[in-house]
Amino acid sequence: MTDTMTPAPDEETQETPDAEAPEQAPTTPADEGAPTMEGATEIPTFPGKEPKHKGKEGEIEKIADDYVIPLSDEAIKDWAKVDPEQFKAYAEQVAVGMYPTFAPQIQAGIPTRILLDPYVQVAQQLLGPVMTEPNWSDPKWGAALQGGVDPKTGRPIPMTLNEWRTFLMQHPNHNYLQSPHAMERAQNFSDALNASFSGKMMPGAM
């Protein structure tokens, strides 16, 4: 959760941003490579991230983290003065604006963290531990959220996980070739190649 100032609420008049879901917002393709929320029972915790606040402030921090929206320490203190459910409604609206391709799922009550976690897990499998929150507005990460194309409408949609794997391996800024996964694959290929040639060597050959 980036420590960026978010307008603190006024105790008497609560305003929410004008971010709205786009009409006919696309949904993630339902194929075997797409992330699924079936069986999701709890919101994942981002690795290496420890909560900084306790009590009601901690509740606000947790909600902001669940919806992956930026909130400064000062804004957390201000929001702690109101009912956390009010902040949750606000967080959902902000998340819809920040992650429009996930708008239908967010509006259906699925926190952003659950929707993003499959992409983080795939990145960790290929690139190694991801110890800081990805910047989802950066094209090298944001492609996961809108790098796919709806075949019916031609509109951007989240990538399937198979598409995301391919993207991670090909995008130069992810440095996949320097990752342990890539090095292990290269070593396995080298070992298999050596074994193949060794089996064809003539008896007594050096």
- Tens of pLDDT along 64-90? 999 999 999 999 999 999 999 999 999
Identify whether 69 is part of a domain. yes
Say how many domains are in the chain.
1
| Sequence-ordered list of residues with C-beta below 8 angstroms from that of 120, at least 6 positions apart, any chain | 46, 130, 134
List, for residues 100-152, the tens digit of each pLDDT value. Answer: 999 999 999 999 999 999 999 999 999 888 878 899 999 999 999 999 999 99
Q: Which domain holds residue 67?
A: 55-200
Identify whether 26 is part of a domain. no
Identify whether 169 is part of a domain. yes
Identify whether 17 is part of a domain. no
Identify whether 120 is part of a domain. yes
pTM of the full structure: 0.68
Token representation of residue 177: 């070739």
Identify whether 48 is part of a domain. no
Instruction: Identify the CA nearest to 144 among candidates 94, 177, 106, 99.
Output: 99
Identify whether 187 is part of a domain. yes
Q: Which residues in 8-37 are b (16+ Cβ under 10 Å) and which e? A: ebeeeeeeeeeeebeeebbebbeeeebbee
